[in-house]
Amino acid sequence: MKKDVAKYIYILLIGDVEKLVNIREVEENLRREFGFPKKILNSKIDPEDFYDPERRQYHSTKILKEMLDDVPPDALRMIGIIPVDLFIPILTFVFGEAQLGGTVGIVSLARLRQEFYNLPPNQTLLERRLIKEIKHELGHTFGLVHCPLRECVMSVANTILDVDAKGSSFCESCKDLLLRNQKKPVGLKP
């Protein structure tokens, strides 16, 4: 009789993430929302390989592609957390990026931190923002698109004020789709 492989949501720490956030608090919040067990990994990815000197930012899509090489066989999904500022070529910046219906996503701490806006640090606010953005990007990996409801964590956020204004949970419609899609297999290309 063939034994099923356990499925985990991996939290991939890229760089000095643990100096900036309480990763255990983030992990516990994700466990409550998604129900899947979590594992934390330290990444060997060097963000400097994806630095664009003209933009002074890091190319998130290229990092996602690199992350695909490190997805453990028992991973249901893998979400990276990185302290540097991310971009995709068509946008000024991104808080995060994910494969729609895929395996990996990434969230940047850079613009979630109060210090980015020349304000005093606020650890509680940083973790609240990070959890919202991780849920948002994981939602994309489960096939969810942007939601028009501001109270839904899947609503689009173009500014930090948008991140703060949106809800921290999935609306009923997004939650239903999330539950249905959690049972579907995933692709591996961004």
pLDDT, position 184: 64
Share of the chain above pLDDT 90, in %: 78
Half-sphere exposure of 86 (CA within 13 A, CB side): 23
137 as an active site residue: the answer is yes
pLDDT, position 190: 37
Choice among 33, 127, 133, 137 that is catalytic:
137
Q: What is the mean pLDDT of residues 1-21?
A: 81
Domains along the chain with CATH numbers: 8-181 (3.40.390.10)
- Rounded Cα gap, residues 10 and 23, in angstroms: 12
Residue 29 to residues 82, 127, 181, Cα–Cα distance (Å) = 18, 10, 20
Task: Single out the residue of 10, 39, 15, 65 nearest to residue 188, CA to CA.
Answer: 65
Note if the pTM is more than 0.95: no
Distance of CA 111 to the CA centre of its chain: 14
Task: Single out the residue of 10, 15, 28, 14 nearest to residue 127, CA to CA.
Answer: 28
- Of the candidate ranges 63-72, 76-85, 137-146, 178-187, the one whose mean pLDDT is the lowest: 178-187
